Amino acid sequence: MSGNHSSSNNWNKVMLGFIVRKCNMDLGHPPTADEFAAWANGQEENGQRYSLFGRPISPSSAKVMLRHPERLVSVRSESIVKSSKVHTR
């Protein structure tokens, strides 16, 4: 999942499983591919909306991502990363 990473953005590499768990917590249930794509594409921070992975993902991409939680991905928001790590078991 690479994108145009500008130096003004805060990018972090994390296991995809952490991101899926955060989505699960936000939705209150394990996400479908459609829900995961909508959630990842509709993030908001400081009043600005953005795509968590640097570009919008499709439901078909989300379906593949949900099957590979061990994969490392780049994400924009440090707050997503921090809240995901706090809730791991």
pTM of the complete model: 0.75
Half-sphere exposure of residue 38: CA atoms within 13 angstroms, side-chain side:
8
pLDDT tens figures, 60-78: 999 999 999 999 988 876 6
- φ, ψ (nearest 5 deg) of residue 48: -115, 135
| pLDDT number for residue 2 | 43
Distance CA 83, CA 32 (A): 21
Residue found by looking up tokens 């952490």 in the block: 18
Contact criterion met (CB below 8 Å) for 69 and 56 = no
Kindly state the average pLDDT of the residues 12-40: 94
Contact criterion met (CB below 8 Å) for 79 and 12 = no
Q: In degrees to the nearest 10, what's the CA dihedral of 64, 11, 54, 57?
A: 20
